[in-house]
Amino acid sequence: MLPVETPSASGFLIVASPALRDPHFVHSVVLMIEHEVEGSFGLLLNRPVGGTLGSVVDGLEGAVAAIPLHEGGPVQTERVQLLGPEAGPRAVLPGLDLGGSLPHLKQLGERASAVRAYAGYAGWTGGQLHDEIAEGAWIVAPARAAHVLDVPPERLWRQVLLELGGHYAWIALQDGGSEQN
């Protein structure tokens, strides 16, 4: 089911299966930031909103203002999470950190261009994600920093399924909507 059977885990992907019809999550890829007995939360990686951090936060300049803005999920959409190399104090994967602050981003200078901003997040209550995976709504996959930093969001769903191979690659190749979110 999940990549570990410990009480908490992070740093894996869940990929929406074609059976998942919730409009918030069709063709979504979610990086799981926290998965514990009490609940889970993650960020949708492939829902760019077409704006930048500078379009929603006044007074930003340069690379910090140009950080791409994504929909992170339907919960607390007014809250922005930062994800990228050197983005903050919490390591999610090798080369990928969560958190940070505007002063920290400004200190990064041009290196801030690798950071992504996510408005909102996806959340599950205790046991809910396990149940959804058991029902076939989600496919669990390993995560790499490259999924966030290098794969264009509109190609991520298909890319992760192709990486899994076998039946999952077939799903990616058969589903005509995989290039759309």
User: Other C-beta atoms within 10 Å of 179: how many?
Assistant: 12
Neighbours of 54 (CB within 10 A): 18
Report pLDDT for 24: 86
Comparing 60 with 3, the larger pLDDT belongs to 60
Give which of 73, 75, 68 is closest to 14, Cα–Cα: 73
**Structural domains in the chain, sorted by start:** 8-174 (3.40.1740.10)
pLDDT of residue 7: 39
Residue 84 in tokens: 């990228």
Q: What per-residue confidence (pLDDT) applies to 176?
A: 52
At 40-80, the pLDDT tens digits run: 999 999 999 999 999 988 999 999 999 999 999 999 999 99
pLDDT higher than threshold 50 for residue 4:
no
Q: pLDDT, tens digit, for every residue of 160-172?
A: 999 999 999 999 9
Mean pLDDT, residues 27-32: 97
What are the pLDDT digits (tens) for 89-140?
A: 999 999 999 998 888 988 998 999 999 999 999 999 999 999 999 999 999 9
pTM: 0.90
Give the residue, 4 or 145, on which the prediction is more confident. Answer: 145
Predicted local confidence at residue 127, as pLDDT: 92
Whether pLDDT at 145 is above 70: yes
The phi-psi region of residue 91 (left if phi > 0; otherwise alpha if psi is between -120 and 50; otherwise beta) is beta
Q: Give the pLDDT of residue 114.
A: 94
pLDDT at 6 over 50: no
Q: Give the pLDDT band (50/70/90) at residue 1.
A: very low
Helices (H), ranges, 8-144: 53-56, 62-65, 102-108, 128-134
